[in-house]
Structure 1
Amino acid sequence: MTEILLSLAVMALLFGLLAMGVWVAFALFLVGAASLLIFSNAPLGTVLATSSWGASNSWALAALPLFIWMGEILFRSKLSDSLFSGLAPWMTRLPGRLLHVNVFACAVFAAVSGSSAATAATVGKISIPELTKRGYSERMMIGTLAGSATLGLLIPPSIILIVYGVATEQSIARLFIAGILPGALLVALFSGFIMLWALFNREKTPGQAERIPLREKLAAGRDLMPVLLLILGIIGSVYLGVASPTDAAAVGVVIALLLAWRAGDLTKESFREGLMGAVRTSCMIAFILAGAAFLTTAMGFAGIPRMLAAWIGDMGLSHYELLIALTIFFVVMGCFLDGISIIVLTTSIIMPIVEQAGVDPIWFGIYLVFVVEMSQITPPVGFNLFVLQSLTGRNILRVAWAALPFFLLMGLAIALLAAFPGIALYLPSLMGS
C-alpha cells in the first residue's frame, strides 16, 4: 500500500496546484521539489540543474520549434483556400460530398503543421462559411472538423510525437513513420462514416452537384501541388534516411517561407508574427519538458514509478485489460489537461508498467497519441472544441455533441490498433534498426 499512498499524495499535490491555476511547468517543478524533500535525501539544487539541462540539451528537440515555425508560416498563408479549391472538385461525387473536404484538408494540413488546434482553425475558417452557404448539416460540418483536426497530433510531423520521443528517448524518425498508417486508418474511418451518414440522411445533404470534367479537376489539383511536395519532401527524406527529423524540419521552414513568398503572403509583419508565435509555443513546451524531467528524476529517487509498476504487475492484468484501464485513465486526464501536459506528466510512471507488460514503446507512442486525440474533443478542456466554438458561435456542449461520433470512431481505431499492432509497426520495421 505504500506505493499507492505515495502516488496518491504526489497526484493530489499536482492536481491541487493545477486546480489553483498554477502553470503546468511551475506545478511540475514544485511537486518534484516536494517529492525530493519528503521522500529522498538527494540534493535539490543539483538534481534540478542536471535534469533540466538534460531535458533541454537534446538535438532531437531542435526539430520542435522548427516544425512549429513551419506551421505558423503556412497558417498565415493562403494555404487553406488552396486546400479547399484543390480538393472540392474531387469530392462532389462521393456520398456526403464536400463534407469529405474537411477530412482530407485536415489530413493534408496536419502533415505540415503538427498542431491540432492550428489544423481546426485553418481549415475551419474557410470550410465553415463555404459549407454553411451550400446548406450542409451544421452538426456534421462541426463534427467532421472536430474529429479530423485531431489528425494534426498524429500525421507526421507531429509536435506531440516529438515530445513523446524526447520524454521516452525513442527514435523520432521511427515515431513519425509509425504514424502514417494509423493516420490513414482514421481518415478512412471518418470518410466511411460520412458516406454511411449521407446514405441514411439524403435530405440533409445538398442536391447532386454537376459533373466536373477531369480537366477541371486536374487544373484545380494544381493548387495542392506545392504543399504535397512539401509533405513528400519531409516524410520521404526521413523515411529514406536522407535526413534526420531536425534536418527535415529546417528544410521544411525554408520551403514554407518560399511558398508563402510565392503566394504573396510573406510580409515583414507575417514573418514577425509567425516567428514570435513559434517562439512562444516552443518556450512553453520546453519549460513543461524541463519540469517533467525534474519531476521524473525526483520520483525516481523516491522509487514511486518502480513501486507502482510492481504493484500493477502484481494485479495480474492481461495485455488488453491494461490497455483498457490506461485508455480510461488518459481520457479522464484529457478532460482537464492538454495533450502535451498529459504526455509529460504520465510517461515517467506509465512507461515502466508498459515495458514490464512487453508493449512496444513505438506502438505505445502511437496509441498514446490516439487517446490524447480523443481528449481534444472532450469537454471541459477540449482545445478543438474551443476553436470550433469561436468559429461557429455555438455552445461548447453542442460542439461536443457534434464531435461524439468521431470520438467513438477514435475508440474503434484504438481497438483496431490493439488487435493489429502491425498498423503502427509495419513501416518502422522496414527502416531496420
Structure 2
Amino acid sequence: MAEFAPIIIFLFVLFLLLGTGVWVGLALLGVAYVGMEMFTSRPVGDAMMTIIWRSASSWSLTALPLFIWMGEILFRTRLSEDMFRGLSPWMAKLPGGLLHTNVVGCTVFAAVSGSSAATLTTVGKMSIPELRRRNYPETLVIGTLAGAATLGLMIPPSLTLIVYGVTINESITKLFMAGIVPGLLLAIMFMGYVAVVSKVSKNYRPDPEPDMTLRQKLLNSRFLLPVLILIFFVIGSMYLGYATATEAAAIGVVGALILAAVQRSLNMKTFVESLMGAMRTSAMIALILAGASFLSLSMGFTGLPRALAEWIGELGLSRFQLLMALMVFYIIIGCFLDGISSVVLTIAVVEPMIRQSGIDIIWFGIFIVVVVEMAQITPPIGFNLFVMQGMTGHEMNFIARAAFPMFLIMVAMVFVLIAFPDLATWLPDNIRQRPGG
C-alpha cells in the first residue's frame, strides 16, 4: 500500500484543485509542486523553472499556434457557405442526401483547422439552418454534426496530435500522416451510418433537391477550389517531404490570409480578432503543457510511472486487454477533462506501459485520439455538446442522445484499428520527410 501513497496524494490534490475551479494548467503545476515538496529533496523552484522553459522552447511546438491561427482566420471567412454550395450538388443524390454535407464538410475543414470546436462551429453555422429548412430530422442533423466535428482531432493538422507528439517526443509529421487514413475511414463510416438510417428510418422525409446538370454541379464545385488548394499545400508539402509540420503551418497561415483577402473578409478587425483568438487558445494549451511537464518530472522522481508499469506487467494483461482497459480509462477521464488535458495529464504514466507492451507509439497516438474524440460527445463535459447546445438551444440530454450512435461508431473504429494497425502505420513508415519533421 505504501508504494501507492504518492498516487493517492497526487490524485487527491489534483481533484481538490480541479473541483475548486482552478485552471487545468495551474492545477497540474500545483499537484507537481506538492509532489516535489513531499517526495524529493530537489529545490522546487529550480526544477520548475528548468522544466517549464524546456517544454515551452520546443521547436515542434511552434506549429501549434500557427495551425490555431490558420483555423481562426478561416473561421472568419465565407468558407462554410462556399463549402455547402460546392458540396450540396454532389451529396444530394446519395442515400442520406444533404446530411452528408455535415460529414464531408467537417472532413474538409478538419484538414485546415485542427480543432474540433472550430470545425463544428464553422460547418454548423451554415449546414444547420439549411438542413432544417429542408426538413431533415433534427436528431440526425445534430448527431452527425457533433460526431463528424471530432474529425478535427484526427485529420491533420490535429492540435491533439501536435500536443501528443511534443509530450512523447515523436515526429509531428509522422503522426499527421498516421491520422490521414483512419480519419478518412472514420468519415466513411459516419457516411455509411447516414445512408443506412436514411433507408430504415420512418421519420426520414426531407424535401427533395432540384435536379442539376453536370455543368451546374461543376460550376458550383469552384467554390471548393480555394480550400482544396490550401489543403494540398499544407498537407501535400509534408507528405511529399518538402516541409516540416512547422513550415507547413506557416504555409497554411499565409494561404489562409490570402484566401480571406480574396473573399474580402480580411480587414484589420478580423485580423486582430483571429490573432487574439489564436493567442488565447495557444496560451491555454501552453500552460497545460507546462503544468504537465512539471508533473511528469515530479512523478518521475517518485518512481510512480515505472512502478505502475511494473504493476501492470505483473497482471499479465495481453495487448488487447491493456488497450481495452486504457479505452475505458480515457472515456471515463474524458467525461471530466478536455482532450488535450486528458493526453498531457496521463501520458507520463501511460507511456512506460505502452513501450513495455511493445505497442507502436505512432499507432497509439491515433488510438488515443479516437478515444479522446469519443470524450468530445460524452456528458457531462463533452466540449462538442456545449458548442452544439449554444448553436441550437437544445437540452444537453437531447444532443447527447443524438450523438450516441456516432460514439458507437468510434468504438467500432477502435476495434478496426486494433485489427488492422497498418491503417495508422503504413503512411508514416513509407513517407519521405525532412529532418526536424
TM-score relative to the length of structure 2: 0.98
**Kept in 1: contact 2:240–2:432 (CA 8 A):** no
Report whether the alignment pairs 1:431 with 2:431: yes
Q: Deviations over 1:386-418 (max 9, x none)?
A: 111111110011000000000000000011001
After TM superposition, give the deviation of residue 13 of structure 1 in Å: 1.5
After TM superposition, give the deviation of residue 152 of structure 1 in Å: 0.5
Q: Deviations over 1:339-397 (max 9, x none)?
A: 11001100000000111011111000111110100000001111110111111110011
Q: Deviations over 1:72-117 (max 9, x none)?
A: 0000000000010000000111111000000000000011110001
After TM superposition, give the deviation of residue 239 of structure 1 in Å: 1.1
**What amino acid maps onto 2:143 in structure 1?**
G
Question: 1:50-199 to 2 correspondence within 5 Å?
Answer: 50-199=50-199
Q: Distance in 1 between matches of 2:196 and 2:2?
A: 52
**What amino acid maps onto 1:267 in structure 2?**
N
Q: SS at 1:131's partner residue?
A: helix
Match of 2:232 in 1: 232
**What amino acid maps onto 1:190 in structure 2?**
F
**Kept in 1: contact 2:241–2:432 (CA 8 A):** no
After TM superposition, give the deviation of residue 39 of structure 1 in Å: 1.1
Q: Distance in 1 between matches of 2:117 and 2:205?
A: 27
Change (3 A) 1:135 1:301: same
Unpaired segments of 5 or more residues in structure 2? none
**Kept in 1: contact 2:178–2:424 (CA 8 A):** yes
Match of 1:347 in 2: 347
**Kept in 2: contact 1:3–1:308 (CA 8 A):** no
**What amino acid maps onto 1:42 in structure 2?**
R
Q: Distance in 1 between matches of 2:353 and 2:325?
A: 12
Match of 1:14 in 2: 14
**Kept in 1: contact 2:70–2:252 (CA 8 A):** yes
Question: 1:406-417 to 2 correspondence within 5 Å?
Answer: 406-417=406-417
**What amino acid maps onto 1:268 in structure 2?**
M
Report whether the alignment pairs 1:298 with 2:309: no
**Kept in 1: contact 2:40–2:301 (CA 8 A):** yes
After TM superposition, give the deviation of residue 207 of structure 1 in Å: 4.3
Between stretches 4-13 and 380-389, larger displacement belongs to: 4-13
Q: Distance in 2 between matches of 1:205 and 1:315?
A: 53
Q: Deviations over 1:247-280 (max 9, x none)?
A: 0111110110000000010011000000000011
Report percent identity of matched pairs.
54
Q: SS at 2:266's partner residue?
A: coil
**What amino acid maps onto 2:420 in structure 1?**
F
Q: Structure 1 segments of 4 or more deviating over 6 A?
A: none
**Kept in 1: contact 2:182–2:424 (CA 8 A):** yes
**What amino acid maps onto 1:134 in structure 2?**
R
| Equivalent residues, number | 433
**Kept in 2: contact 1:96–1:205 (CA 8 A):** no
Q: Distance in 2 between matches of 1:290 and 1:174?
A: 24
After TM superposition, give the deviation of residue 432 of structure 1 in Å: 5.8
TM-score relative to the length of structure 1: 0.98
How big is the alpha-carbon RMSD for the aligned residues of Structure 1 and Structure 2? 1.0
Q: Distance in 2 between matches of 1:223 and 1:141?
A: 23
Change (3 A) 1:8 1:83: same
Q: Distance in 2 between matches of 1:337 and 1:97?
A: 35
Match of 1:361 in 2: 361
Q: SS at 1:95's partner residue?
A: coil
Q: Distance in 1 between matches of 2:136 and 2:361?
A: 42
Q: SS at 1:165's partner residue?
A: helix
Q: Distance in 2 between matches of 1:23 and 1:146?
A: 25
Q: Distance in 2 between matches of 1:309 and 1:107?
A: 37
**What amino acid maps onto 2:259 in structure 1?**
L
After TM superposition, give the deviation of residue 42 of structure 1 in Å: 1.5
**What amino acid maps onto 1:189 in structure 2?**
M
Q: Distance in 1 between matches of 2:85 and 2:139?
A: 23
After TM superposition, give the deviation of residue 202 of structure 1 in Å: 5.4
Q: Deviations over 1:141-180 (max 9, x none)?
A: 0000000000000000011110000000000000000000
**Kept in 1: contact 2:239–2:432 (CA 8 A):** no
Q: Distance in 2 between matches of 1:205 and 1:224?
A: 28
Match of 2:318 in 1: 318
